[in-house]
Structure 1
Amino acid sequence: MEGALWLPENHLGVVLFANGSGSNRLKPPYDYVGSVLHNARLATLWLDMVTLDERRTYQPRPSVALLAERLQAACDWLQLNESTRELPIALFGSGYGAAAALQLAVSRQRDICAIVLRGGRPDLGSQTLAKVLAPTLLIVGSLDDGVLNANRSAYAALECKKRLEIIPGATHSFDEPGSLEVVARLARGWFLQHTHFALV
């Protein structure tokens, strides 16, 4: 895997981004969220979780198990890297990466401090939802009909500290004016409030 690690000065923790789409996430189109987290002194690690060859196969969707395995490797790397090994780790999942993030949170319960899922498919990890311990925030657009219902079902199945935020007028891409700003604000607040991160 290839990844891009951003380390703001005096960083408090690191957010591992999990996206299961076939597009290159090293320079994500919605990296505004990352910039907001950086301003809050949170480092970010973006992964290109789907290889070029895999994108060329035009599979209907990536394997959640494979994405979770790659997240495991990234988590291992963060805990070995000199710049990040002492930092608490949080997860930001979207698309099919949301289900993979939940699987990682279950297998690494002592390592994951908080989870934010943006327009994701947490229902694909339905077997693990009740086992998630980390505080979990689900963010979905009100106009993203199929994913909205999936997130409502996942929210009901979660037994950890949880919250479901439905952004009025937003679609799956959150391209509508102001939508991404709301996503970023909610994610920042959740990470700072429900993890070991603390502003000093």
Structure 2
Amino acid sequence: MDVRDEAVTIPASEVLLPADLLVPAEPVGAVLFAHGSGSSRHSPRNVAVAHQLNRAGFGTVLVDLLTPAEDEVDAVTAELRFDIGLLADRLAGIVDWLATERPFGTTPVGLFGASTGAAAALVAAARRPDLVQAVVSRGGRPDLAGSALAQVRAATLLLVGGLDEQVITLNEQALDQLTSRAELRVIPGATHLFEEPGTLDQVAEAAADWFHDHLHPQPASA
């Protein structure tokens, strides 16, 4: 499939964030990635999932949620990577930019969050219920979304490695608080980072299926 790779700078929550857009010729949806603790838009796992989603027809947005200066501070203190409110603000701003600039046309938007990024994705989805239709969490910490879980309206898929026992428990607890269409799936034999052969492919396949099922074009305005 022909996919255009475009580097952009996105204004979000009073900062400018570098991002990589991967745009198929006729995208069926747009998926915004929220990376986990200490990672970036170059995360090899998220890049791999993005490429599989591209092959399934989705446009993808890989973005750094911290500025270069903030990233330097966070590398020492590790404080900003756990600031779920800050990260969610920026994700919501990027969702607004997608709705305004329409780099993928009028296609619907989904969020893919990993680790702490999953919590930020769920909070952002709760803040933008009319724009975000679906969320997929990979090895996520949805529990860190707190009270926002009950406000999420997007269809939510929680993917956890079968050997990641503590995170399975946290996801089970979060699932009980979600009032939207939600499902927890355990990937057998996978640890937290899904480094075992074939496990990340299963994540990408499940994500593509979920987005295909739950991202629907918005009806045209009268």
TM-score (norm 2): 0.84
Give the whole-Å Cα distance in 2 for the aligned partners of 1:157 and 1:79: 28
Q: Equivalent residue for 1:8?
A: 24
Shift of 1:3: 0.9
Deviation of 1:127 (Å): 0.5
Structure 1 unaligned runs (5+)? none
Where 1:7 maps in the other structure, the secondary structure is strand
In the alignment, residue 152 of structure 1 is paired with which amino acid?
E
SS of 2:66's partner is coil
The match for 1:22 is 38
| CA RMSD, 1 decimal | 1.4
Report the 3-state secondary structure (helix = DSSP H, G, I; strand = E; otherwise coil) of the residue aligned with 2:147.
Answer: coil
**1:87 matched to 2:107:** yes
Aligned to 2:169: 149
CA drift at 1:42: 0.3
- The 1:34–1:64 alpha-carbon spacing in structure 2 relative to 1, beyond 3 Å, is same
Q: Is contact 1:20–1:67 with CA below 8 Å preserved after alignment?
A: no
1:128 positional shift: 1.2
Gaps of 5+ in 2: 1-16, 218-222
1:78-117 mapped onto 2 (5 Å cutoff):
78-84=98-104, 86-117=106-137
1:1-200 matched pairs, under 5 angstroms: 1-25=17-41, 27-30=42-45, 31-51=47-67, 52-59=71-78, 61-84=81-104, 86-196=106-216
Q: Is the 8 A contact 1:20 1:50 kept in 2?
A: no
Structure with greater helix share of residues:
2
- Aligned-partner Cα distance in 1 for 2:91–2:76: 21
Displacement of 1:99? 1.0
Contact 1:20–1:49 under 8 Å retained in 2:
no
1:74 partner letter? I
What is the percent sequence identity of the aligned residues? 42
Kept after mapping to 2: 8 A contact 1:14/1:44:
yes
What CA deviation, in whole Å up to 9, does each residue of 1:141-172 have, x standing for no partner? 01112211111101111111111100111001
Instruction: Output the TM-score relative to the length of structure 1.
Output: 0.92
Q: Distance in 2 between matches of 1:62 and 1:47?
A: 17
State the number of aligned residues: 196
Q: What is the alpha-carbon distance in structure 1 between the residues aligned to residue 111 and residue 18 of structure 2?
A: 17
Indicate the SS of the match to 2:92: helix
- 1:97 CA displacement: 1.0
